[in-house]
Every structure is written in C-alpha cells, then in structure tokens.
C-alpha cells in the first residue's frame, strides 16, 4: 500500500510538471502568434516590423529557456525511481557545465564520495544542472565553483559553493519561489524545479550566502541501503 501511495505521488508530480510546463510555454507562444499575425498584414512600417520580429524572437528564446529549466533530460519514458550514485550523476552534470564555466573564467573543482540515493537520474541531473548554472551565472567575472558529495551513512550531503554575487536575506528567502529572478533574462523557474526534485527525493536544503562574497548550497538526501549497481551480490550464497 505504501509503495502504491508513493507511486501515485510520483505520477502526480509528473503530471504537475507537465501541466506547469505547458502553462509556462503558452504565454510566450501566444505573444509570438499575435505578432506574427500582425506582421502577416504586410502593411506595417519597416521599423515596426523589425520591432515585432525582435519581440517574437525574444519570446521564443524565453520559451526555450523555460524548456531548459524543466526538461533538459526529458525522455518520452515513465519517470521511474531507482538507486542512483550521486558521484556518478554529479560527474555527468559537471562534464556538461565545464565548457560554460571555462568560458566565464570559472575554475571548477570537485570532491565526490560515492553514495546511493533513491531518485530518478533524469530529474537528479536537471536539479543539479539548474543549481550549478545559477552558481556559474553568479560569477560573471570568474571565480571558483566547488562541488562536494559526502557520504554520512544515513544521508548524502552535497554542497555547491561559489564566490559569486551572493544573495541578500530576502533573496535567500525567495529562493525556489516561482518567477523570482534577479536576472534580465531569467525565468525564475530553475530553482523551483530543483527544490521540487530535492523534496521529491525526501531531501532538504539550506543556503548560506553573503552579498559580494558568495553562496553555499547544502543539500541533504536520505541515503539508500540498496548498494550501487556496481558493488552487488557478494553476501549471497
């Protein structure tokens, strides 16, 4: 019964995600449609046409950014949970963000202990991609990004530290609130998606931040007693 309940909760989260994505994307698409219909009349002054095209392109970029914050790894497959090794998954995300980091003169370092948590690998990666991207974006003039995973037996603690712009108390309080963004082209959805995924895994998070000094995010996830797929089957027989 408990497993069934958990399965129901999972499905609910999946359909909630799908509902919010289509809701989020409808707005920019409606704007694009409207401006294209205006352009279709063909009787607009050249400057107006150029302005409408610029707005339509900006709105399409926004739709793209929203999809990135939600669905970078989405596959048309059911969102099953499974034992996942945090070091392996974080390594994958680090590999993805390293080119972006180097482009911004950011040094990336990591210290990753193995530890198994129950989750969905796709969501896990989306969560940490969003968080690491925020850290990189917080260091426009370069800096250091450090990611650590520590296995504490019953929990796995992941820390993400940057020495970027930092956050005020008010900003820390609003972290994860939908549409809260301090960026010109921000969606304000990346942190919300990350927080939801952490909560879905039964985890908690805290933020320590100082303006102009940097931010450390600490994410604590319950460890699974299931062994990782590689270290299996030695006690049997």
Q: Which residues form the interface with ligand ADP (CB under 6 A)? A: 130, 134-135, 138, 162, 164-167, 171, 175, 180-183, 186-192, 215
Strand order in the sheet with 204-210: 106-112, 143-151, 155-162, 214-222, 204-210
Q: Which is nearer to Mg ion, 43 or 185 (CB)?
A: 185
- Which CB, 65 or 148, lies closer to Mg ion? 65
CB 209 within 8 A of CB 167: yes
Decide: 235 and 226 in contact? Cβ < 8 Å: no
- Looking at the Cβ atoms of 125 and 215, the one nearer to ligand ADP is 215
Query: Nearest distance from residue 104's CB to Mg ion, in Å?
Result: 14
**Residue whose tokens read 């497959």:** 77
User: Chain centroid to CA 105: how far?
Assistant: 22
Instruction: Name which of 106 and 223 has its Cβ closer to Mg ion.
Output: 106
In the chain, the largest separation of any two C-alpha atoms, in whole Å, equals 81
Which residues, other chains included, contact 29 with Cβ-Cβ below 8 Å and sequence gap of 6+? 59, 63
**Nearest by Cα to 86 from 161, 189, 3, 198:** 198
What letter does residue 99 receive in the DSSP assignment? Answer: H
163: helix, coil or strand? coil
CB of 14 to ligand ADP, least distance (A): 20
Q: Whose Cβ is closer to ligand ADP: residue 116's or residue 147's?
A: 147
Q: In the beta sheet, which residues pair with residue 223? A: 117
Residues 156-175 that bind Mg ion (CB under 5 A): none
Which residues have a Cβ under 8 Å from the Cβ of 191 and sit 6 or more positions away?
A: 130, 131, 134, 175, 176, 180
**Nearer Cβ to Mg ion, position 134 or 163?**
134
In the complex, least distance from residue 111 CB atom to ligand ADP, rounded to whole angstroms: 19
**From ligand ADP, Mg ion, none, which one binds at residue 26 (CB under 5 to 8 Å depending on kind)?**
none
Interactions with Mg ion, residue window 116-135 (CB under 5 A): 134
Structure tokens at 38: 């205006």
Question: What is d(CA 153, CA 85) in angstroms, rounded to the nearest whole number?
Answer: 13
Question: Of 190, 197, 198, 217, which one interacts with Mg ion (CB under 5 A)?
Answer: 190
Residues near Mg ion (CB under 5 A) are 134, 190
């Amino acid at each position: 019964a408990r497993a069934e309940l958990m399965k129901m909760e999972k499905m609910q989260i999946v359909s909630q995600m799908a509902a919010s994505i289509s809701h989020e994307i409808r707005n920019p698409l409606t704007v694009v449609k409207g401006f294209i219909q205006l352009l279709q009349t063909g009787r607009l002054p050249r400057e107006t046409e150029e302005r409408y095209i610029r707005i339509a392109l900006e709105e399409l970029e926004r739709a793209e950014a929203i999809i990135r914050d939600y669905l970078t790894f989405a596959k048309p497959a059911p969102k099953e949970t499974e034992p996942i090794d945090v070091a392996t998954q974080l390594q994958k995300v680090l590999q993805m963000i390293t080119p972006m980091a180097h482009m911004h003169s950011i040094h990336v370092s990591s210290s990753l202990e193995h530890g198994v948590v129950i989750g969905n690998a796709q969501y896990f990666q989306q969560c940490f991609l969003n968080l690491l991207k925020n850290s990189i974006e917080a260091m426009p003039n370069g800096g250091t990004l450090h990611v650590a995973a520590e296995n504490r037996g019953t929990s796995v603690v992941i820390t993400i530290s940057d020495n970027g712009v930092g956050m005020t108390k008010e900003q820390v309080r609003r972290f994860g609130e939908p549409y809260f963004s301090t960026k010109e082209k921000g969606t304000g959805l990346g942190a919300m998606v990350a927080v939801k995924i952490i909560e879905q895994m039964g985890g908690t998070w805290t933020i320590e931040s100082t303006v102009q000094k940097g931010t450390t995010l600490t994410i604590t996830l319950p460890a699974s007693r299931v062994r990782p797929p590689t270290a299996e089957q030695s006690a049997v027989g």
